[in-house]
């Protein structure tokens, strides 16, 4: 075949989301599309800042401590501000929950819309200074009928989210999104300033060959996890052991899991009674994406999307990925270890 001609019919994220709504025959008001446009803009802005971080001295500590008592990085603070400002200005949001802010932000009447966005503006902060992949994670709820937008609108199971996704800032910026109708991946074309559909209908292989856990915590792990991991490393004779991959950025570890298959886990253990990851803006969006891609997401004993949150920053154990791999973990939990 000869040289490929450049496509004159590119599918941008906005076009794709709109065509999805046409297909579904939904009475779309365009509100969600506009909200997603605002989110795309924040991702482009954050991607730009991540790129030039080292040049303009955005790496290093910002000198403040966040809700979880961790020191904030300058890029975290910046990314949070970018998202709050843009989401408020979109006029489509009523409640915002950010990992970086202790309290939920209730949007004033002038800008109030019908959606709530829960997000971690820049996840994987321990990787920033080393230039390793980091990302933004977000989940979207529609406010309850009749609600003016309160914290109750986000203290709902993940299964009620209308959309969720993440943007990974790596060698390219990749936005992966579900609106409850499968999962699609888009890559930022920097010249166009548009996210272009590059990974249509992502499906997780039913079984993988990679496990992704912080095994440095193994001495705290509960028996089901220890025994499960041993089963991967010391399989019955004739079978190959799994490969270990752990970046320590949930977005990057989940992204790889969606594309290659396998399992990502951050369990609860003797030290971290509820694990580390946050339910609302880390576990829920990733669980939603995983299930939409044909995988499973569990705490070990419960489907993650069924959990009813009681506070906005609560944590939750996470195992997610290929269906068969997650079912294997569940067997260890059911068998009592």
CA dihedral 152, 281, 268, 304 (to 10 degrees): 70
Q: Work out how close the CB of 138 gets to Mg ion at its nearest, in angstroms, rounded to a whole number.
A: 12
Rounded Cα gap, residues 259 and 321, in angstroms: 10
Residues 288, 164: contact at Cβ < 8 Å? Answer: yes
- The stretch near ligand AHM (CB under 6 A) out of 30-38, 85-93, 118-126, 323-331 is 118-126
Q: Work out how close the CB of 68 gets to Mg ion at its nearest, in angstroms, rounded to a whole number.
A: 9
Single out the residue of 33, 74, 92, 123 in contact with ligand AHM (rule: CB under 6 A): 123
Binding characters for ligand AHM, 211-240, by CB under 6 A (x = yes): ---x--------------------------
What's the N-to-C CA distance of the chain in angstroms? 56
Rounded Cα gap, residues 80 and 97, in angstroms: 10
Q: Work out how close the CB of 120 gets to Mg ion at its nearest, in angstroms, rounded to a whole number.
A: 5
Q: Work out how close the CB of 279 gets to Mg ion at its nearest, in angstroms, rounded to a whole number.
A: 14
Which residues within the stretch 105-124 sit at the binding site for Mg ion (CB under 5 A)? 120, 123
The neighbour count for residue 182, using CB atoms within 10 Å, is 16
Residue number, 92 or 256, with CB nearest to ligand AHM = 256
DSSP line for 194-205: EEEEEE-S----
Partners of 166 in the beta sheet?
Answer: 137, 176
Is 59 among the residues that bind ligand AHM (CB under 6 A)? no
CA–CA distances in Å: residue 247 to residues 16, 222, 296, 303: 30, 22, 21, 25
The neighbour count for residue 323, using CB atoms within 10 Å, is 18
- The stretch near Mg ion (CB under 5 A) out of 34-42, 81-89, 93-101, 180-188 is 93-101
Single out the residue of 19, 65, 85, 126 in contact with ligand AHM (rule: CB under 6 A): 126
Taken as a whole, the chain contains a residue count of 337
The neighbour count for residue 147, using CB atoms within 10 Å, is 14
Q: Work out how close the CB of 277 gets to Mg ion at its nearest, in angstroms, rounded to a whole number.
A: 10
- The stretch near ligand AHM (CB under 6 A) out of 12-20, 40-48, 120-128, 151-159 is 120-128
**Which of ligand AHM, Mg ion, none interacts with 19 (beta carbon under 5 to 8 A by kind)?**
none
Rounded Cα gap, residues 297 and 284, in angstroms: 9
Q: Count how many Cα atoms sit within 13 Å of the Cα of residue 29 in the half-sphere of its side chain.
A: 8
The number of residues that bind ligand AHM (CB under 6 A) is 14
Q: Work out how close the CB of 120 gets to ligand AHM at its nearest, in angstroms, rounded to a whole number.
A: 6
Which residues within the stretch 274-303 sit at the binding site for ligand AHM (CB under 6 A)? 276
Binding characters for ligand AHM, 242-261, by CB under 6 A (x = yes): ------xxx--x--------
For the record, the structure tokens of 318 come out as 């996470």
- The stretch near Mg ion (CB under 5 A) out of 67-75, 99-107, 166-174, 250-258 is 99-107
**Which of ligand AHM, Mg ion, none interacts with 126 (beta carbon under 5 to 8 A by kind)?**
ligand AHM
Rounded Cα gap, residues 277 and 323, in angstroms: 21
Rounded Cα gap, residues 91 and 208, in angstroms: 42
Single out the residue of 113, 124, 295, 309 in contact with ligand AHM (rule: CB under 6 A): 124
- State the residues that interact with ligand AHM by CB under 6 A: 70, 99, 120, 123-126, 214, 248-250, 253, 266, 276
- State the residues that interact with Mg ion by CB under 5 A: 99, 120, 123
């Amino acid at each position: 075949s000869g040289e490929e001609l450049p496509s004159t019919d590119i599918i941008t994220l906005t076009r794709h989301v709109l065509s999805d709504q046409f297909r579904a025959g939904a009475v779309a008001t365009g509100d969600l599309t506009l909200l997603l446009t605002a989110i795309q803009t924040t991702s482009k802005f954050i991607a730009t800042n991540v790129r030039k971080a080292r040049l303009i001295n955005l790496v290093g500590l910002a000198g403040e401590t966040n809700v979880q008592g961790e020191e904030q990085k300058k890029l975290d603070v910046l990314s949070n501000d970018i998202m709050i400002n843009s989401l408020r200005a979109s006029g489509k949001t009523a409640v915002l929950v950010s990992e970086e802010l202790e309290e939920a932000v209730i949007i004033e009447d002038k800008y109030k819309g019908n959606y709530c966005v829960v997000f971690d503006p820049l996840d994987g902060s321990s990787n920033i200074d080393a230039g390793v992949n980091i990302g933004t994670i977000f989940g979207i709820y529609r406010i309850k009928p009749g609600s003016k937008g309160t914290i109750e609108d986000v203290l709902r199971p993940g299964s009620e989210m209308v959309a969720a996704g993440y943007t990974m800032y790596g060698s390219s910026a990749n936005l992966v999104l579900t609106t409850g109708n499968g999962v699609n991946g888009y890559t930022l074309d920097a010249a166009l300033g548009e996210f272009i559909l590059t990974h249509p209908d992502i499906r997780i292989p039913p079984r993988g060959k990679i496990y992704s856990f912080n095994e440095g915590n193994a001495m705290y792990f509960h028996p089901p996890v220890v025994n499960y991991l041993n089963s991967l490393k010391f399989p019955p004779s004739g079978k190959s052991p799994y490969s270990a991959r752990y970046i320590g950025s949930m977005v990057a570890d989940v992204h790889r899991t969606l594309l290659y298959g396998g399992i990502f886990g951050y369990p609860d253990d003797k030290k971290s009674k509820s694990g580390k990851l946050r339910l609302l803006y880390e576990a829920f969006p990733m669980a939603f994406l995983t299930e939409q891609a044909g995988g499973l997401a569990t705490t070990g004993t419960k489907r993650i999307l069924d959990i009813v949150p009681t506070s906005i920053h609560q944590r939750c154990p996470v195992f997610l990925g290929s269906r068969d791999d997650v079912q294997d973990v569940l067997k260890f939990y059911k068998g009592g270890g």
